[in-house]
Amino acid sequence: MIKTNYSKEIILIAAVSENNVLGRDNKLIWHISEDLKRFKKLTNGHAIIMGRKTFESMPAALPGRKNIILTRNKKYDAKDAFIAHSIHEALKLSGDDPLPYVIGGGEIYSLFLPIADKIELTRVHKTFEGDAFFPKIDMSKWILHSSEKNNSSVNQPYNYSFLTYTKIK
């Protein structure tokens, strides 16, 4: 798929461990309230594109955002969400939103990585066992635009960093 077909800035947003684990058993492994606040702040008012498993891991569609589910299941239906069966269809459903966010899971990140423009990554500085993984970032195609390190605290036992990568044009 050629990027020039899209007039949007496609952004992947994820929280991953040092070994690129996203989660286990369709659940997040850690709870970092500052990461959740950042996720909400960045994605609020935008289209969010996710896979079926990611959608089903949430209690309901996320408010204040246009929820788009990418699935192969032609009969899939979900309350307060739009259904897409291809990358092109998902991006079309995002309408005039110039900043659609891809929020997971692993397969969906892999599909969108080649056409993404930016990655908003929370790197949890620990390794975890998991069954869902973020794809490896080819650092010859991406540049670290900003980095903000956060130390562990009473409420958050892990050091973590907010990282923003932009694709090299």
What's the DSSP call for residue 155?
Answer: S
* Averaged confidence pLDDT in the chain: 94
pLDDT at 169: 84
**6 within some domain:** no
**143 within some domain:** no
Do 12 and 109 form a contact (C-beta atoms < 8 A)? yes
pLDDT at 154: 85
Residues 6+ apart with CB under 8 A from 139: none
**64 within some domain:** yes
pLDDT at 3: 45
pLDDT at 15: 97
**159 within some domain:** no
Judge whether residue 1 has pLDDT over 90.
no
Residue 147 CA to residue 162 CA, distance in Å, equals 6
**41 within some domain:** yes
Global pTM reads 0.94
31 or 62, which is more confident: 62
Judge whether residue 4 has pLDDT over 70.
no
The residue range of the domain holding 112 is: 11-136
**84 within some domain:** yes
| Chain segment 47-66, per-residue pLDDT in tens | 999 999 999 999 999 999 99
**169 within some domain:** no
Residue 160's SS3 state is: strand
Residue 114 CA to residue 2 CA, distance in Å, equals 9
The count of domains in the chain is: 1
Instruction: Give residue 6's pLDDT band: very low, low, confident or very high (50, 70, 90).
Output: low
Instruction: Give residue 156's pLDDT band: very low, low, confident or very high (50, 70, 90).
Output: confident
Instruction: Give residue 2's pLDDT band: very low, low, confident or very high (50, 70, 90).
Output: very low
CA 49, 116, 40: angle at the middle one, nearest 5?
A: 45
**39 within some domain:** yes
* CATH number of the domain where residue 132 is located: 3.40.430.10
Do 22 and 105 form a contact (C-beta atoms < 8 A)? yes
| Chain segment 73-119, per-residue pLDDT in tens | 999 999 999 999 999 999 999 999 999 999 999 999 999 999 999 99
